[in-house]
Amino acid sequence: MNVSIVGSGYVGTTIAACLADLGHDVINVEIDKEIVDSINAGEAPIHESGLEERIADYAGTNLRATTEYDEVRDTDVTFLCLPTPQTDDGSLDLAIMRAGAESLGRTLESKDGDHLVVVKSTVLPGTTEDVVAPILEGESGTSIGDGIDIAMNPEFLRMGTAVTDFLEPDKIVLGTAFDDAAATLRELYAPILEQENTDLVETDIREAELIKYANNAFLAAKVSLVNELGNIAAEYDTDAYEVLEAVGLDDRISDRFMRSGLGWGGSCFPKDVNALRAGAREQGYDPELLDAVVAVNDTQPRRLVDLLADHFHLEGARIAVLGLSFKPGTDDVRKSRALDVIDHLGERGATVVAYDPVAIENVRPDYPSVEYAESAEEALEGADGAVVATDWPEFDELSFAGMARSVVIDGRRIDVDESALEVYEGLTW
């Protein structure tokens, strides 16, 4: 199938490479020329396991990138993978979606033959049908259902495991209004749907939109609950990890998303939970539980810095921050909890020396006063204290020997030889 993908960020690039892997002819339409050049040169524009080799394999054959929307006309299906950020008040900002839909609609005005537009971005119920569809109709002069069809197909991949999550998902959700669109998408995803562990959910467009938010709200709430239980466990001087490992044996609860600590960050949970809260309020419902989910999450970085401050004055102290990305396996630092930790340390007058295996360059421009080290050992050298902000596997079994005082506060539960340290404290254990 000939597929175009508008927006080549974390999602657009990953799904383009994966759809090329499934044998489709794929073109990425992206306004950032650096990303376009990178893909066409066979290089991954982001750090994501399994992406580099796929882009290297398919670039120039069945995977291309361009800044020109015109090439969309040679394809049958277009996925909109554009950002849907939050506004200052937390509500969903659709400005980029609107602009992308306008460009796409104008392009489709001169297309012969049918075209399917699929919203992949995370959007609140009603957005696809009441915002995107009218723009497409207005710009193209073609009615939905009569030349252009529209569908909503939310994406559940995670950063760090994006390629395998896309190729081996638990479920594929297809929100459609017309049978033809569902049939086209079933054909596109056929190799994935043939897998035993992938469920197909066929539903209406608005339900598909809400499934994505409900999914993320559930997972974010689970981590916040686990963090609240962890905070309580620490007050009782008990180990939350032991407690929650036992709780997770109940298959109604499951052992996944049970890691307590610094909380959730990233480009999705924060903005999606906020958009759902704002959307609910707009609909006249007060989402008290989701408000609490965010409130618990917001307290964790400060709690971690408070634990450090119990051992010495932070004013003038040299603190190593291990990990900057919002989770291991990615260079994405959007809403990373590590940045909140750095902010709190800065407010209390500490000097921060930070290390991350891949994310430093994404932090440096916004945090010029932070010192950056080339290894964890270098960051720890001479430091008065250290905090673990991201659970990169390379931090397991790390030597803290070079520290001036080995006071280590762990926000992520890495493997540490506690006996070699003056102080080792976990945020929730």
Ligand X SMILES: O=c1ccn([C@@H]2O[C@H](COP(=O)(O)OP(=O)(O)O[C@H]3O[C@H](CO)[C@@H](O)[C@H](O)[C@H]3O)[C@@H](O)[C@H]2O)c(=O)[nH]1
Ligand Y SMILES: NC(=O)c1ccc[n+]([C@@H]2O[C@H](COP(=O)([O-])OP(=O)(O)OC[C@H]3O[C@@H](n4cnc5c(N)ncnc54)[C@H](O)[C@@H]3O)[C@@H](O)[C@H]2O)c1
DSSP 152: E
CB under 5 to 8 A by kind: which of ligand Y, ligand X, none does 216 bind? ligand X
Residue 257 counted as an annotated binding residue: yes
DSSP bridge partners of 176: 151
Does 207 interact with ligand Y (rule: CB under 6 A)? no
- Closer CB to ligand X, 64 or 334, in the complex: 334
Does the annotation list 258 as a binding residue?
yes
From the list 327, 334, 405, 413, which residue makes contact with ligand X (rule: CB under 6 A)?
327
Query: Is residue 114 a contact partner of residue 147, using CB atoms and an 8 Å limit?
Result: yes
Rounded Cα gap, residues 374 and 388, in angstroms: 16
Bridge partners (DSSP) of residue 315 are none
Nearer to ligand X, 103 or 299 (CB): 299
x/- site string to ligand Y, residues 10 to 49, per CB under 6 A?
xxx----------------xxxx--x--------------
Q: Looking at 3, 51, 82, 296, which residue binds ligand Y (CB under 6 A)? A: 82
CA 134 to chain CA centroid, nearest Å: 29
Residue 87 phi/psi, 5-degree rounding, is -80, 180
Name residues contacting ligand Y, limited to 246-275 (CB under 6 A): 267-268
Distance CA 181, CA 102 (A): 21
Single out the residue of 4, 62, 66, 84 in contact with ligand Y (rule: CB under 6 A).
Answer: 84
122 is in an annotated binding site: yes
Q: Provide the CA 425 distance to its chain's centre, in angstroms.
A: 28
Residue of the chain from 26, 29, 152, 159 that contacts ligand X (CB under 6 A): 159
From residue 226, give the alpha-carbon distance in Å to each of 246, 251, 258, 260, 428.
13, 16, 6, 6, 9
Strands 351-355, 371-372: pairing is parallel
Active site residue 268: yes
Q: 179, 15, 7, 149: which is closest to 76 by C-alpha?
A: 149
Q: Cβ closer to ligand X: 269 or 395?
A: 269
Which one, 104 or 116, has the nearer CB to ligand Y?
Answer: 104
| Residue 370: CB minimum distance to ligand Y, A | 23
What does 81 bind: ligand X, ligand Y, none (CB cut-off 5 to 8 Å by kind)?
ligand Y
Site for ligand X in 200-219 (CB under 6 A): 216, 219
Q: With binding defined as CB under 6 A, does residue 125 bind ligand Y?
A: no
Is 279 a binding residue for ligand X by CB under 6 A? The answer is: no
35, 172, 223, 268: which is the annotated catalytic residue?
Answer: 268
In the bound complex, what is the minimum distance in angstroms from residue 244's beta carbon to ligand X? 9
- Residue type for 280, please? A
Q: Was 334 annotated as part of a binding site? A: yes
Instruction: Give the pair of three-digit tokens for residue 409.
Output: 């506060």
- 330 marked as binding residue: no
Q: Which is nearer to ligand X, 28 or 267 (CB)?
A: 267
CA pseudo-torsion sign 142, 145, 147, 149: positive
Residue 213 binding ligand Y, by CB under 6 A: no
Provide CB contacts within 8 A for 208, sequence distance 6+: 152, 153, 154, 173, 174, 175, 201
Among 78, 122, 128, 300, binds ligand Y (CB under 6 A): 122
Tell me the HSE value of 38 on the side-chain side, using a 13 A CA sphere.
17
Rounded Cα–Cα distance for residues 429 and 417 (Å) = 15
Piece of the chain touching ligand X by CB under 6 A; list 51-59, 229-237, 238-246, 261-269: 261-269
Q: Is 222 exposed, middle or buried (0-12, 13-18, 19+ CB in 10 A)?
A: middle
The amino acid that residue 240 corresponds to is: A
Chosen residue from 326, 355, 400, 429 binding ligand X by CB under 6 A: 326
| Positions that interact with ligand Y (CB under 6 A) | 6-12, 29-32, 35, 81-84, 96, 99-100, 103, 121-122, 155, 157, 159, 267-268
| Positions that interact with ligand X (CB under 6 A) | 122, 155-159, 216, 219, 223, 257-259, 261, 263-266, 268-269, 272, 326-327
Q: Which residues are catalytic?
A: 268
